[in-house]
Amino acid sequence: MSYYSVLEVTPTNEDWIANYVASANRLVTTHGGKYLANTPVHERLEGKGDDVAIRVIIQWPSKEAAITFMNDPEYAPLLKGRTEGSISNHVLIEGKED
């Protein structure tokens, strides 16, 4: 069953971004993930909330793949850089099997 990481990221500084993007993209692929969206182009159609700079959706082949990615020691310094250099929210959503 697929799982989806949905992230909202608003950088508070940009020092971490260049290193993060290349390295995180490689690690996502290594763990079987696939970016479905990674964009500053989005529009709120309903509800209220804080505007965010970037929205990201990553498809994972399983919950375990997503968790293994998050716990990868190589990802730890990248995660630290992103969380210290941005306001970020990340949720993991179970996909629906038809």
Q: What is the pLDDT of residues 18-46, one digit of tens each?
A: 999 999 999 999 999 999 999 999 999 99
Specify the CATH number for the domain of residue 85: 3.30.70.100
Q: What is the value of pTM for the model shown?
A: 0.93
Q: Whole-angstrom Cα distance, residue 71 to residue 50?
A: 28
Q: How many domains does the chain have?
A: 1
Q: Which domain holds residue 32?
A: 3-43+52-94
Residue 50 has pLDDT above 90, yes or no: no
Q: How far is CA 76 from CA 4, 13, 30, 36, 46, in A?
A: 20, 19, 15, 23, 34
